Amino acid sequence: MVGSVHVNGSLNGANGTEERLDELRRLLGKSEGDLLKIVSVGAGAWGSVFAALLQDAYGHFREKVQIRVWRRPGRAVDRSTAEHLFEVINSREDVLRRLIRRCAYLKYVEARLGDRTLYADEILRDGLCLNMVDTPLCPLKVVTNLQEAVWDADIVVNGLPSTETREVFEEISKYWKERIAVPVIISLAKGIEASLGPIPRIVTPTQMISSATGVPTENILYLGGPNIASEIYNKEYANARICGSNKWRKPLAKFLRQPHFIVWDNSDLITHEVMGGLKNVYAIGAGMVAALTNESATSKSVYFAHCTSEMIFITHLLTEQPEKLAGPLLADTYVTLLKGRNAWYGQMLAKGELSPDMGDSIKGKGMIQGISAVGAFFELLSQPSLSVQHPEENKQVAPAELCPILKRLYRILIKRFVLCIKIMDMEICIL
């Protein structure tokens, strides 16, 4: 510490928080008494935590900022999850007291007994996320009407899975037709689509949003790890990068930065989004390797070497001027391979506790985004027009032929072959 400023540049606690808020308000042209409106669209683990971080940091400035979360209504909480929620609540005295003060505790008692049904938007208002029930958050302002949530929002956070981003933002575009001021959008989504014609190319979430809404790419940014949502909210030290135009990324990095959550900025938007999608692909394989080798450090390190080689090859192939793949980019991959829902999914597959036929939305975990990303990357890299020279054979091959891990994950997750397949000479049987 040097005075009230950390050596890494983040401001300490309340000192500077209001100044950062005022600085962003001025940049967005907000006048005195005019609320800065921030909404997180989507309430998965990361989207909810991101909104909760902002609420914790700035929510007490009620005359200056409004922070809300949109999620779809009607998602019921099953009884086993309600019972677990009750246990979590009673293990945390601060949460228990808060719910009692809000006269909300009784409904969790009744839900545990099966006397009433809880809903995901209802528990989120109490600070409990359906995809992350073991990590209570602060209470959040939840809106279930999409038009009400976004029509005059200044900053929109995309907390949706990449597979839902286009559809929801096409709906949002209907409510923005008469807008004068263009909003700023921060995308947290990690995944891609493959566009195969007329020229094969990737489509990232920020590109989906721009295409769906007409918001210029200058106003759309991507924020990525390395981080795990629950650990960030528990104030474990974390880093992130916000990528996009110079106009917005630097002031937003400053606004989002907290003592335990250090946000840097970078101009290379596409490379970071591509890596954000790829890391979920290879995390599934990492989970399989961990389960098959009883968490062997040697086997996992060998897998890490192989998968990062493929990731570097793919990223250099798909981005025109990729940033050097080191530091935070590889760290984001590392943390996802260690502890993320995609790695967990790979472990459950290898242990036979899940099967590909169960789909990509898993109870208590949410969307396993690596599955759709496997399909998108493989289909794109199988296009003959992207062929490259084989390093050992004198012939042109589709890039997918040089990505054996991706190829095998595609056979397991997308083709769903009922046979034994090898990843790095380790046999995986999908029954």
- Compute, in degrees rounded to 10, the torsion defined by CA atoms 131, 327, 155, 376: -60
Residue 109, helix vs strand vs coil: helix
Label the pairing between strands 141-143 and 65-70: parallel
Residue located via tokens 């891990």: 405
- Strand pairing partners for 258? 261
Nearest to 49 by CA among 37, 58, 40: 40
Kind of pairing, strands 201-203 and 193-195?
A: antiparallel
- 144 contacts 115 by C-beta, under 8 angstroms: no
List the beta strands (DSSP E) in 267-415: 361-362, 366-367, 388-389, 396-397
Q: What distances in angstroms separate CA 379 from CA 123, 128, 396, one per listed residue?
A: 39, 38, 17
Question: Which residues are 186's β-sheet partners?
Answer: 157, 221
d(CA 363, CA 2): 46
Q: Where are the beta strands (DSSP E) in 25-101?
A: 36-41, 65-70, 76-77
Q: Which two tokens stand for residue 417?
A: 């072959």
279 noted as active-site residue: yes
**Options 64, 235, 279, 407, the catalytic residue:** 279
CA atoms of 260 and 426, how far apart (whole Å): 39
Contact assessment for residue 82 and residue 128, using Cβ atoms and an 8 Å cutoff: no
Tell me if residue 327 falls in helix, strand or coil.
coil
- Distance CA(123)–CA(147), nearest Å, equals 22
Beta bridge partners of 262: 239
129 contacts 53 by C-beta, under 8 angstroms: no
CA 233 to chain CA centroid, nearest Å: 14
> What kind and span of H or E run contains 365?
none
276 by DSSP, 3-state: which? helix
Q: What residues have CB less than 8 Å from 100, skipping those under 6 apart?
A: none
Backbone angles phi, psi at 145, to 5 degrees: -100, 115
List, by residue number, the catalytic residues. 279
